């Protein structure tokens, strides 16, 4: 799948901003206010969500302000849809 640069989410507390673009394999760069406790889980969730959408090659920059898993999944999905042009919600 071809990826364009796309963004979803905000830098508000409780949210996560996902910037996605072309890459080789799934690379996730994460900055998080809860990095020490949840960084590992957040990266895994981002990769898992992308894989679930059929994306195996992407570079993701994630800036997290303590988002819950449901929020992370929603922001990653929205960024992926904007990036690929494929509407997964139909």
List residues near another protein by CB under 8 A.
13-14, 33-34, 36-41, 65-69
Instruction: Supply the minimum distance, in Å, between the C-beta of residue 77 and another protein.
Output: 19
Residue nearer to another protein on the CB measure, 47 or 65:
65
Instruction: Supply the minimum distance, in Å, between the C-beta of residue 16 and another protein.
Output: 10
Determine what percent of the chain falls in helix, strand and coil, rounding each to the nearest 5. Answer: 40, 25, 35
Instruction: Supply the minimum distance, in Å, between the C-beta of residue 3 and another protein.
Output: 28
Cα 50–chain centre separation: 7
Residue nearer to another protein on the CB measure, 55 or 76:
76
Residue nearer to another protein on the CB measure, 5 or 33:
33
DSSP state of 8: E
| Sheet bearing 58-64, strands edge to edge | 6-8, 16-21, 58-64, 26-32
């Amino acid at each position: 799948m071809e990826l364009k640069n796309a963004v979803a989410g905000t830098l508000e507390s409780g949210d996560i901003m996902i910037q996605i673009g072309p890459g080789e394999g799934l690379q996730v760069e994460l900055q998080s206010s809860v990095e020490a406790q949840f960084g590992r889980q957040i990266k895994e969730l981002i990769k898992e969500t992308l894989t679930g959408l059929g994306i195996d090659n992407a570079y993701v920059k994630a800036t997290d302000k303590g988002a819950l898993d449901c929020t992370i999944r929603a922001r990653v999905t929205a960024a992926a849809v904007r990036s690929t042009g494929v509407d997964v919600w139909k």
